[in-house]
Chain A
Amino acid sequence: MGMIDPEPAATQEPVAESDQDGEGAYLYGIGLASSVAEQERLDAILDENEIRTVRHGDLVAFVRSVPLAEFSEQSIQERLQDQEWLMHAVQHHHQVIADLSAQLTLLPSTFGAVYESEDAVSDSLEANQGPLTDRLREVSGCDEWALHLFRDEAGVRERVLEADPELQRMSRELESAPTGRAYLLRQQLEKRLSQAIEEQQLAVADAVLEQVEQYTRGIQVEEPRTGGDSESDDVEIARASLLVPGEQSESMLDALDAAAESTPGIRVEVSGPWPVYSFANTETEDRE
């Protein structure tokens, strides 16, 4: 080293990566490089969508270079007002993931995740190589199926009442009771009835899941959505995501059909095959 710093500019450098004008890496997912079905088709998908790969060992991350400014908090807030943009972005995200999933074992990324640089993605792959590889092996060869169970509202009270001797007794007593007592009895009856309906739907959901479990490698039970977007009067009583090996999907669907037919008052909805969104999350750590 001489008296004069050979690279004076270096001290002014660290603007680039974190700068809002810089480029970030939008992550689509992380795959197992050794599981690629047809490299040419994979390359075509990458070309078409301007996707680059970041490798670490057998792990490969699929990223696209995006202006960081577009993903700043302020821009995101603005974009959220633009529903058309948002829907298009979600569809594109999904389309890329679905195409990639057809070519290799992939853990889909959550929507809208941008990293500071490809190096940051690479560091994270390195730091989480173990859990990511384990999870990839678990989902290998599997699709995700979305399952919803709905209770047919019409007639549900009658069905539960018919099946419960105690409720029938209360119901008969109510018919012949004087007004004041009838009021109390009715309250009791309603309370017991809604309890019985709740218990019955839990039992039904358990029974349906039990019938498909043997065809799955994983089941994630989720909270049913109450009210909301549906115009249907039917009440969603259970929802679950199923991780199903490709060769088992027919049997799984048959089992669901059978379960639906043998359970009166229940409607089963299933959609898929989906990329394994609901089974992609691992506990990841910072490099530190």
Chain B
Amino acid sequence: MTGRATSDRDITVVELLDRVVDNGVVLAGDITISVADVDLIHLGLRLVLRSPVLFETASERQPESDTEDAHDFILRLRDPAREH
């Protein structure tokens, strides 16, 4: 094993985006463009990844909202293997 070059958080955000954008159940009758234009959304989200600061400020600016919780959840997900 070698050291980790990217931070745990970056890895998990990438992981999250890979999961929620590319995957998940799709029912017939979806009327949004999210299916047809999945690459477009993915591209937009990939841009977010290049600005890690945005990710931080989004939760800091709205401390009482669910953003904070969501943020915490993602941090909790960090490398759970290490906890065992």
A60 to B54: give the CA distance in the assembly, Å: 35
Beyond A93-B20, A146-B15, A253-B81, whether A112 also contacts B41 by CB under 8 A is yes
Q: What number of A-B contacts does a CB cutoff of 8 Å give? A: 203
Interface string of A269-288 (1 = CB under 8 A from B): 11111110110111011110
Does A219 sit at the interface, judged by CB under 8 A? no
Q: How large is the interface on B (under 10, 10 to 19, 20 to 34, 35 or more residues)?
A: 35 or more
A229–B10 CB distance below 8 A: yes
A106 to B26: give the CA distance in the assembly, Å: 13
- Minimum CB distance partner of A112 in chain B: B34
Beyond A256-B81, A267-B2, whether A87 also contacts B32 by CB under 8 A is no
Specify the main secondary structure of chain B where it touches its partner: helix
A100 to B71: give the CA distance in the assembly, Å: 17
**Which of A24-32, A36-44, A160-168, A208-216 contacts the other chain?**
A24-32
B25–A109 CB distance below 8 A: yes
Give the A-binding residues of B (Cβ under 8 A).
1-2, 4-6, 10-12, 14-35, 37, 40-41, 43-51, 54-55, 57-58, 66-67, 69-71, 73-74, 77-81, 84
Question: Known contacts A84-B57, A112-B32; can you find 4 more A-B pairs with CB under 8 A?
Answer: A29-B25, A83-B54, A281-B26, A287-B28
